[in-house]
Copies of this chain bind each other. A is one copy, B any other.
Amino acid sequence: MPEPLFRRLALIGVGLIGSSLARVARERGDIAAEVVATARSAETRQRVIELDIVDRVEPTAALAVEGADCIIMCAPVGAYAAIAAEIAPHLAPGSIISDVGSTKQSVIRDVGPLVPEGVHFVPAHPLAGTEHSGPDAGFATLFRDRWCLLTPPPGTDEAAVEKIAELWRRCGSAVEVMDPNHHDRVLAIVSHLPHLIAFTICGTADDLAGESRQQVLKFAATGFRDFTRIAASDPEMWRDVFLNNREALLEMLARFTEDAQAMARAVRWGDAAYIEDKVERGRAIRRSLIELRQA
């Protein structure tokens, strides 16, 4: 077995992503010699002990990062500023702080200024997840064959970036370095907007009166059912994602709304050619995804 990448890995948060990281680290043994975790609630800490997926569970983030050479924040992105403020005085020189958040400009804005001199900051985003959450939801193969995007600020230590890249490669992911602004725009359309739409349409259906609402649930055909699967994700996480990728999300939503209105107009006026063209484009994108093995 190769040398472990880190002596001590500290996971701040042990939900779907954190607990999956813990499991893959334990399974492989070459990611960290020791894994320490912390969670805000006593209940979650107890459950993590029962699941036996880390070496030690600490009640505070400050205690968890003590002596760690790699710290990964695995909490909703809205909690990062407070976490960074709490752990900053306890970070060892030469250690690396990273994260798994779905928005990257906000992480650089919130965490960057709090990172002490001599500590390396390598924001990361594994494009992996399910509609389940909590420490029981994680599994060791979650990151296998998925992308992990790194958005290190300019001037970040190359060796630190490489160590985080290697961590994710050992989790089975393909790693790519990306500009954080570009990351946020791409994620707004491929992930954040679809989730916003899915949550919204569930609400629209839920607002229908009486019998219709009952029948919506009863006859949920394929389309709506798929939307509810997306909409089943963690509320806190998504609230934070929306609020922390505001600009890009609102821009993509505005573009989408214009396009939906154009489609509405085509439906109203019976423009069959326009509708067919849009439907064909959907199919073409689907085919591209299949060719790129993303479907």
Are A217 and B283 neighbours in the complex by a CB distance under 8 Å?
A: no
Shortest CB-to-CB span from A218 to chain B, Å, is 6
A267 interface residue per 8 A CB criterion: yes
Interface assignment of A225: CB less than 8 Å from any CB of chain B:
yes
Q: How many residues of A contact B (CB 8 A)?
A: 91
Expressed in whole angstroms, the Cα–Cα distance for A191 and B222 within the complex equals: 7
Chain B residues with CB under 8 A of A201: 189, 193-194, 197, 256, 259
* Contacting residues, chain B, for A288 (C-beta < 8 A): 217
- Which of B216, B249, B260, B267 is close to A189, meaning CB atoms less than 8 Å apart? B216
Contact, CB under 8 Å: B250 / A264: yes
Whose C-beta in chain B lies nearest to the C-beta of A274? B239
Nearest chain B CB to A276 CB, angstrom units: 5
- For this complex, 16 residue pairs linking A to B, each with C-beta atoms less than 8 Å apart, are A127-B221, A147-B218, A182-B215, A189-B205, A190-B219, A190-B224, A193-B223, A195-B223, A206-B285, A218-B294, A222-B230, A223-B230, A226-B229, A231-B279, A236-B276, A243-B270
